[in-house]
Amino acid sequence: MPLIAAAVAVVALAGCSSGGGSATATGSGTSSAAAAAPVTLTFQSLSDQPATIAATKKIVDSWNAANPDIQVNVVQASWDSVNDKLTTQFAGGTAPDIIHDDAASIVSFASDGYLADLTGQMSQAKKDDIGKGLLASVTVDGKVVAYPTEVQSYMVFANKTLLDQAGVTIPTGDSMTWDQFRQIAKATTKNGVAGVGWGLKSPVATFMTLGLGSGGTYFDGTGTKATIHVGDNELALPKLVHQMAYDDKSILPVTLTQSGSEALAAFYGGKVAMTVQGSYLAASMAKDAPSGFSWVVLPPLAGPQGAAQAADPQTLSVSADSKHAAQAVKFLEYFTSSDNLEAVNEADALIPATTSAQKAMATKLGSQNGWDQILKSGKDFQSAPFLFVNKYSQWKSTVATPAFQKYLANQIDDAGLTDALTNGWKQLG
């Protein structure tokens, strides 16, 4: 008998979860009526640098102290598994109120209806403060679905001692061309040292982001109507890496199969003169680099069509199921004020998404730890076409990642890569 009761309970629970939609509707109705009652918001944060966790905590604590009615509770999660986690959280109705993720991932969540529309709720001042390309990257079907907070650019970090020994003058100026980069890599490849350690285990993001430098847009159209094209512009960057690895032999081969952080070991160990990494590494490098290790950030990489990089900002959005969306937006407005954004980005060594915070950062930090170079790369962010392609993440994981890995391992040639990327896209159906 108790078993039958348990089975009934299971069925009843199943009924509850499928009726979640209507429960939410009544919930949001009551919350506006009882706005004065204290609410608690869950904020799932992905910050992984200790300094950023501390900076986030400081902002949340000051908010909680000033707003007894709207308490924010930070829950820590990890970047590694966040999209799988969010998928199950959304499906199970347990998503946090405030969601930390990146633009490339939330676009698909937004088009599947999981994120609240913030168009009317984000203040006009904030919209003006956020760069155009960045605001576009979080606008899905005409709706703003997130506050962009931090932007990563890919930067070249160099071992100053090895560059000096090879007689290379460290480039200055607003950008460094791909050819310059290749020459420096060649010049520093000697005495058992390779020019570059490039962690390309997950190559797609790097190629899509830096590929804009040669006009490599990969996709036309948006949503479900998008089509792919892989031509000379798209192949320029993969070709460059391939030539450096196999013709010049200026890339340490093992790093091509490693993650960025694994490739960093070779850089610290003096086995490579340069490494291409997300700008965020500047923060940990300032602390973790071996003592006496002298490093510099080189000017942003520029392809034949300029130094553009695709903007894939970190974002904060509100769950469509949240009962306290209005309160969540208030907190997000506070979180993205220029002082707060400056503090978080400084801790992460990333570029703030708002112009005012970028200015605050430039005045505060000057050129220490390569900040001037990193901020320079922030001027050329472009909204990337791939963000708005519905099947992008699917194509990335099942088609593009293995295809680029094969190409970098010299298993397929240019034609094979083009073929794998385009035919794989068609197979997604």
Partner 1 sequence: MSTLTVGASVDRPVRRRSGAGRRRQSRETAVLVAPSVLLIVVLSVAPLLAGVALAFTDARLVHNPHYSFVGAANFTKLADNTMFWSSFRIGIVWAVSVTVLQLVAAMGLALLLNADLRLRGLARVLALVPWAMPPVVVSIMWRMIYSPNAGPLNAVLRAIGLPGDTNWLGSFTTALPAVIAVGVWVGMPQTTVTLLAGLQQVPVETYEAAAIDGAGAWRRFTAVTMPSLRPIVTSITSLNFIWNFNSFSLVYVLTEGGPGGKTMLPMLFTYIEAFQNRNIGYAAAMGVVLVVVVVALLGLYLWSQLRNEDKP
Contact with partner 1 (CB under 8 A): which of 35, 54, 91, 286? 91
Among the residue ranges 38-46, 139-147, 234-242, 406-414, the one whose residues contact partner 1 (CB under 8 A)? 406-414
List 394, 414, 419, 422, residue binding partner 1 (CB under 8 A): 394
SS (H, E, C) the chain: CHHHHHHHHHHHHHHHHHCHHHHHHHHHHHHHHCCCCCEEEEEEECCCCHHHHHHHHHHHHHHHHHCCCEEEEEEECCCCCHHHHHHHHHHHCCCCCEEEEEHHHHHHHHHCCCECCCCCCCCHHHHHHECHHHHHHCEECCEECCEECEECCEEEEEEHHHHHHCCCCCCCCCCEEHHHHHHHHHHHCECCEEEEEECCCCHHHHHHHHHHHHCCCCEECCECCCEECCCHHHHHHHHHHHHHHHCCCCECHHHHHCCHHHHHHHHHCCCEEEEEEECCHHHHHHHHCCCCCCEEECCCEEECCECCEEECCEEEEEECCCCCHHHHHHHHHHHCCHHHHHHHHHHHCCEECEHHHHHHHHHHHCCHHHHHHHHHHHHHEEECHHHHECCHHHHHHHHHHHHHHHHHCCCCCHHHHHHHHHHHHHHCC
Taking contact as CB under 8 A, which single stretch among the options 80-88, 288-296, 336-344, 362-370 is the one that binds partner 1?
Answer: 80-88
270 in contact with partner 1 (CB under 8 A): no
Contact call for residue 32 and partner 1 (CB under 8 A): no
Q: Examine residue 7 and tell whether it contacts partner 1 (CB under 8 A).
A: yes
Stretch in the footprint of partner 1 (CB under 8 A) among 50-58, 112-120, 205-213, 292-300: 112-120
| Residue 3 found at the interface with partner 1 (CB under 8 A) | yes
Give the binding range for partner 1 (CB under 8 A) out of 148-156, 254-262, 289-297, 353-361.
254-262
Nearer to partner 1, 254 or 286 (CB): 254
Give the one residue of 31, 67, 165, 393 binding partner 1; rule: CB under 8 A: 393
Nearer to partner 1, 219 or 381 (CB): 219
Which position among 17, 62, 227, 397 is part of the footprint of partner 1 (CB under 8 A)? 397
* Contacting residue, 187, 265, 289, 362, with partner 1 by CB under 8 A: 265
| 399 near partner 1, judged by CB under 8 A | yes
Q: Is 381 in the site for partner 1 (CB under 8 A)?
A: no
Give, as ranges, the residues between 151 and 210 that touch partner 1 (CB under 8 A): 201
Which residues lie near partner 1 (CB under 8 A)? 3-4, 7, 10, 21, 83-84, 87-88, 90-91, 108, 112-114, 201, 253-254, 256-258, 265-266, 269, 320-321, 391, 393-394, 397-399, 401-403, 405-406, 409, 411, 424, 427, 429
